[in-house]
Amino acid sequence: MSTFEQITTSVEEGVGLITINRPDKRNALSTVVLAEIDEALSDWERSDEVAVVMFTGAGEKAFVAGADINQLKNYDLAYGLAGTMQKLFNRIADYPKPTIAAINGIALGGGLELAMACDIRVAAETAKMGLPETTLGVLPGAGGTQRLPRLVGKGRATEMILTSRVITAAEALDYGLVTSVVAPGELLADARATAELIQTKGPLAIQLAKFAIANGSEVDERTGVLIERLAQTLLYTTDDKAEGAAAFLEKRPPSFRGK
């Protein structure tokens, strides 16, 4: 297992937790943080010990405050075209295992873009979220202009991006940006409960459900249901499907093997 400087990782009961660990910088996304997240994801992608990946920030004030402004001032044409942060968040969005963002504090700019790349977002009551990039003369370039409209609608996303308005956790819940809001002390436990519930389901079904949702929601309905049908057809051939049906009929918990 890799060792890291600006993130910490742990694995407990099938949940791999990545904590961005720069509390003195409000957990800003440096190039080191991005590289270390990518490495941790590589470590866990084929690991049988990790079924669900969670992200959170160190301390009580920030999930991730955004990009490291000390580095942002040096970004140029070549860096923009390389799309390092965007590619990493695309990888998180496409990750074969479920991902959960536990938003423990402010999630701004790249921090909110990281959370939006995850499958599920839960937030502490004290969390605040926004995409303030236009204040800096740039735009949300790590998926923000694309993922936010798909989550909250074009109108609300446009208003948030053009004004750089920061919203509360309660507003984020109302917008559909997060799925639950809990007391700060309950955040990780709530996220872990969701992760544990996911682990009781068929892992191949989870993976293909993610695939169908991600790829079917951006095409016309007929193409989407075709993607769904093909994914379901694959699942019909698996041992997990047979086990799931047998367990239901025998009134016992299933024992899925991901085969």
Q: Which are the catalytic amino acids?
A: 113, 133
Starting at the edge strand found earlier in the chain, the sheet holding 180-182 runs 7-12, 15-20, 52-57, 99-103, 120-124, 180-182
Handedness of CA 248, 250, 194, 234 (dihedral sign): negative
Tokens, residue 68 = 């490291």
Beta carbons of 254 and 244 less than 8 angstroms apart: yes
Q: Which helix (H) or strand (E) holds 190?
A: helix 187-199
% helix, strand, coil for the chain, step of 5: 50, 15, 30
The 3-state DSSP class for residue 52 equals strand
The single-letter code of the amino acid at 15 is V
